[in-house]
Each structure stands twice: as C-alpha cells, then as structure tokens.
Amino acid sequence: TIDHLKGDVTFNNVHFSYESGKPILKNISFEAKAGEKIALVGPTGSGKTTIINLLMRFYELDSGNIKIDGRSISDYQISKLREKIGVVLQDTFLFTGSILENIRYGRLEATDDEVIEAAKLASAHRFIKHLPDKYDTQITGNGSNLSIGQRQLLAIARAVLADSDILILDEATSSIDTKTEIDIQQGLNRLSEGRTSFVIAHRLKTIENADRILVIHQGELIEVGTHTEL
C-alpha cells in the first residue's frame, strides 16, 4: 500500500461532460486543505455527485486537473487511490453475513477486537449490543432487518476500520429517529476528525460546521466560503 495521503485536494479549471456536447461541470476550481470538512450544497442535478465521481476517478475530465497532495490523480494507481478514499453513502452495501463480518469488510485482516473498537468509535456499539445476537446478528436482504440509521452506523464503523485518508459522506435525506441521529453525528464527527472530508450536505448543522462550503448551481461553483461568510 502507498503511504498515507495528507489529503490536500485541488480542482483546477475542471470541465466535464458525461456525453459530448452536454457540459455538466464548468470550470470548477477549489482547494480543500488537509483535514478540512467541505460541504457540497446545491439543488438536485447541480453536479455534486459528479464532483465526487471525478475525485474517485470514475470518469476522465474534458479538461483541467485534479490533484491530491500536489500530484495529479491520474498519476496514482487507481486501486490505491480508491483505497485511500472512504465512502459513506446513504444506502450502504451490506451482504448476507454477521454484523461483525459486515464491519470487517472495511479491513479484512482486522481482529474481532479491532472491529468492536471501530464500532465503538463509530457509535454503532450501542445499538449492536442491544441486539439478541449482538455482533453475530445475521444481516438479511441487504440489511432490511435493520433501520436506515443502523445501516449508516455500520457504514461509519466500516469506514473507521478502513482508516482512509479522505472521506466522502452522502448525508441521509430520510428521517432517522433522534437517538440514532445523535449517534450518527457523533460517529461521523469522530470519523472525519483530522481527515479531509467532502459531505454532500442536507442538514443545516453540517453546513454550519463545515470549514468551507461549495455552492454548486447548474455545474458551476457559484460561491465558496464559510457559513458566516455566505
């Protein structure tokens, strides 16, 4: 594995289209310094997910460049690059198997103790320990026996265990009960501590706490700043 990344991310004059002649991102430039929390906000279809897709190198740019720690992302081996970027999506991929195995998916060589430690840090331990079979609870049907919030907590635990250098968080839009929501926020705060993180933000609180907010509108970055500045 490559050494840890610091997590400086820069987009320089990035232009991108999924289909030729239909520009989706237009001249996007910004800098995220190592450890910063960046909130991406903007209406549906504005291009937030596309920015993340490009950072993960799922597509080639039309022009411009994206750098991590001063080095173009096209100079990194793609598997290593993705290994260093942790993703917590709204709908977590869970497989048939125990909760322990599902968290361990973040780092396959982790011991049981390390999995439980990660779950504690992620604030997932509280709900798991109340399940009759605790960490041996079997997950069925991509997690349909768990609530959306609980599935998110497992995704956070998995990401804690993976210990990636850059994080991508797609904040849930669905309603989650208050207690679980508090756990999720605490888990996410611990997870993002000291790591550059990009949050597709839906909650005002997240936006208020971000070091920088990127406001995207129809593929353009129309404003950058902190909550008080904007």
For residue 30, the minimal CB distance to ligand ATP (Å) is 15
Measured from the CB atom, the residue of 47 and 106 that comes closer to ligand ATP is 47
* Total residues at interface with ligand ATP (CB under 6 A): 11
Measured from the CB atom, the residue of 46 and 123 that comes closer to ligand ATP is 46
48-67 residues in contact with ligand ATP (CB under 6 A) are 48-50
List the one residue from 5, 32, 38, 42 that touches ligand ATP (CB under 6 A).
42
45 binds ligand ATP (CB under 6 A): yes
Measured from the CB atom, the residue of 8 and 170 that comes closer to ligand ATP is 170
For residue 24, the minimal CB distance to ligand ATP (Å) is 4
List the one residue from 2, 4, 13, 18 that touches ligand ATP (CB under 6 A).
18
User: What does the DSSP assignment read for the chain?
Assistant: -PPPP---EEEEEEEEESSTT-EEEEEEEEEE-TT-EEEEE--TTSSHHHHHHHHTTSS--SEEEEEETTEEGGGS-HHHHHHTEEEE-SS----SEEHHHHHHTTSTT--HHHHHHHHHHTT-HHHHHTSTTGGGPEE-GGGTTS-HHHHHHHHHHHHHHHT-SEEEEE---S---HHHHHHHHHHHHHHHTTSEEEEE--SHHHHHH-SEEEEEETTEEEEEE-TTT-
11 binds ligand ATP (CB under 6 A): no
Residues that bind ligand ATP (CB under 6 A): 18-19, 24, 42, 44-50
